[in-house]
Structure 1
Amino acid sequence: MPKVKRERQGAAQRKGQSSTQQAVRQSITFNKDFGQHILRNPMVVQSIVDKAAIKSSDVVMEIGPGTGNLTAKLLEKAKKVIAFEIDPRMVAELRKRFMGTPYMSKLEIIVGDCIKSEFPDFDVCVANMPYQISSPFVFKLLLHRKFRCAVLMFQKEFAERLYAKPGDKLYCRLSANTQLMARVAHVLKVGKNNFKPPPKVDSSVVRIEPMNPMPKINFVEWDGLTRILFTRKNKTLSAIFKSKTVIELLSKNYQIYCSLNEIMVADDFDIKAKIDEILTECAFNETRARTMSIDQFLKLLERFNANKIHFSS
């Protein structure tokens, strides 16, 4: 058989295999309960991989690989890809897609919920995140700490909350908690028509790099403070700390702390006066949480704790 003819037959065979794989993927009914929206634009897929700056020695953790469009590009770059997939149908599709290829030995699939599972060791995390697990995943990832960077796609407004700055409309507890532990940057907008099926809203890709070293604070205390302040983020701190519920909580925590540490509480101790004193000392009486920087939150927490007032019992 002439060489040209053999090459044409080989090309046709590869095209037929590709078409078969595509037909299989198209036949899958996507599960809305899992937030399945498959990224189909190869240019966007490549941009995400490029932003991750993956090295040949890197282990990459991917969440929700779906039919493997992003996985395939990650396998080209990384030493290994560990993919969490909760849908057994997608697991079967992934295995079918890479079976018999050199990439199969580089791919490890963990079947299950990444929120309920222990994270493996990895260098980079790349994912098209289901909306339902966006918030818990971000905090689990940041507390894991042992990674270089993460390039993650979220629904547009959620992504904007991650990198919102003090004074921005979307600046919230999520913003402060995330930026305490990491640097967050917006890298790419992704329209809803780049997905199948198209979601109701556009998406954005962010790059997250954990702080090194991490702030040396009690994260439970930090979370307690920001929870109180952002519940009423447009109120002044003076108004927030006059709330009966807040006063009762801090008074109870103060009594517990003093009891555990064998500290006598003066008969005339006034928790309200002490709180006012701290706010005045920090010049935060008229400050609102929506305008406060990370350093300001840290300063306020330090002054409260130094005065034996805590936000966790």
Structure 2
Amino acid sequence: MKSKKSLGLAHRSLKQSLGQNFLRDKRILKKIADFAQIEKEDTVVEVGPGEGTLTSFLLEKAKKVIAIEKDSDLALLLREKFNREIQDSKLEIIEGDILDLKLEKNSYSLSEQKIVERTSTAENTARTSERKCFLRANLKNYVLVGNIPYYITGALFKKALETEKPPKSITFVVQKEVAERIMGSHFVKTSRDKSRGKESILSISIKVYGTPEYGGIIKAGSFYPKPKVDSAIISIRDISKKHFINAVEQKFFEILKKGFAHKRKLLIKNLTEVSRFDLDTLKEIFDKCGISEKARAENLKVSDWLCLAKKFSPKIPKL
């Protein structure tokens, strides 16, 4: 493990606003890279590489790694540390915010934003330029990996999954409780936490695109600085938009949000208050979908929500 002093530049540039927590245990870093199931022809897009500790393991597995780092000091550190890999076109360091990036069919782009490129010279000079598209890369087979700040978890999942060209898989280190919520009914219930095993708007929003897999807990002490809670590894496998065509995606999420609007109410009451259907019609729809009138939103599977969306919109194809 690295000591506090040996963190060097990373230690001096810690920024609370960026939610920086560096992983220090090489065994865990290797476990994350292994759990991502990276193939030799894959491009890995790494979010928040920090000091590059996970980057080293990703480079061993992928055809190329594209590391996106918001902290300018850390971006400079990475360019110095991985100079050879950059020269060999195995690694590209992009300084910017992943949430500002536009994920297009065959590229990442950042519009109307300044990109600061710092050289690895002794003077550490900087060059600022306006570029509509700062990266062109074949992203036919790409995976998204990262030890991400807790505060961007939901927004990043939404961005990655709803984009025109989603990754084939996502592997993130997230807050332990969030990972368990994503697993939903896939997670074993315990007497200590009655919420485990129930679905949430987050879990359904992710499962409609892919299959979550739990990779295990990472204790808080494995990070510097030490966060207040434990983390966990989670992967979303086999990502696709097979359930959605045309306006289906929008309608699905519209109904999902309405259904979870008041968690303690029965689902049918939530939908009665916001839909164009009367109670009798909704009861008929529930019966055709095999959903109990006593069900709450947290009790429904992805297939149930898709069935409801189909009944609410004739444009949605049959399951």
- 2:174 is the counterpart of 1:165: no
Which residue pairs with 1:187 in the alignment? Answer: 215
For residue 194 of structure 1, report the CA deviation from its aligned partner: 0.4
Q: Which runs of 5+ in 1 are unaligned?
A: 1-17, 252-269
Structure 2 residue corresponding to 1:235, chosen from 260, 265, 268: 265
Which residue pairs with 1:275 in the alignment? Answer: 282
Which residue pairs with 1:262 in the alignment? Answer: none
Q: Report if aligned partners of 1:45, 1:69 keep a CA contact under 8 Å in 2.
A: yes
Q: Report if aligned partners of 2:217, 2:232 keep a CA contact under 8 Å in 1.
A: yes
- The residue type paired with residue 12 of structure 2 is I
- 2:303 is the counterpart of 1:303: no
Q: Which runs of 5+ in 2 are unaligned?
A: 109-138
- The residue type paired with residue 17 of structure 2 is D
Secondary structure at the counterpart of residue 139 of structure 1: helix
Q: Report if aligned partners of 1:142, 1:210 keep a CA contact under 8 Å in 2.
A: no
Distance 2:80 2:218 in 1: 28
For residue 102 of structure 1, report the CA deviation from its aligned partner: 4.3
| Residues 23, 286 of structure 1: alpha-carbon distance in 2 compared, 3 angstrom cutoff | closer
Identical-pair percentage: 30
Which residue pairs with 1:290 in the alignment? Answer: 298
Q: Report if aligned partners of 2:183, 2:213 keep a CA contact under 8 Å in 1.
A: yes
Distance 1:238 1:78 in 2: 48
Structure 1 residue corresponding to 2:161, chosen from 142, 145, 153: 142
Q: Report if aligned partners of 2:59, 2:65 keep a CA contact under 8 Å in 1.
A: yes
For residue 77 of structure 1, report the CA deviation from its aligned partner: 2.2
- The residue type paired with residue 141 of structure 1 is A
For residues 161-207 of structure 1, what are the alpha-carbon distances to aligned partners after superposition, in whole Å with 9 as ceiling and x for unaligned? 11111897252101111101110010121001000101111000011
TM-score by length of 1: 0.77
Distance 1:210 1:140 in 2: 17
For residue 135 of structure 1, report the CA deviation from its aligned partner: 0.6
For residue 152 of structure 1, report the CA deviation from its aligned partner: 1.0
- 2:76 is the counterpart of 1:92: yes
Which residue pairs with 2:253 in the alignment? Answer: 223
Which residue pairs with 1:264 in the alignment? Answer: none
Secondary structure at the counterpart of residue 234 of structure 1: coil
Moved more, 154-163 or 139-148: 139-148
- 2:58 is the counterpart of 1:74: yes
Q: Report if aligned partners of 1:234, 1:290 keep a CA contact under 8 Å in 2.
A: no
- 2:148 is the counterpart of 1:129: yes
Greater helix share, structure number: 1
TM-score by length of 2: 0.75
Distance 1:130 1:102 in 2: 26
- 2:202 is the counterpart of 1:174: yes
Secondary structure at the counterpart of residue 170 of structure 2: strand
Secondary structure at the counterpart of residue 55 of structure 1: coil
Greater strand share, structure number: 2
Which residue pairs with 1:6 in the alignment? Answer: none
Secondary structure at the counterpart of residue 40 of structure 2: coil
Structure 2 residue corresponding to 1:155, chosen from 142, 165, 175: 175
For residue 278 of structure 1, report the CA deviation from its aligned partner: 2.8
Q: Report if aligned partners of 1:237, 1:284 keep a CA contact under 8 Å in 2.
A: no
Secondary structure at the counterpart of residue 226 of structure 2: coil
Length, aligned pairs only: 266
| Residues 226, 71 of structure 1: alpha-carbon distance in 2 compared, 3 angstrom cutoff | same
- Please tell me whether Structure 1 or Structure 2 has the larger radius of gyration of its CA atoms: 1
Moved more, 41-50 or 232-241: 232-241
For residue 94 of structure 1, report the CA deviation from its aligned partner: 0.7
Which residue pairs with 1:202 in the alignment? Answer: 230
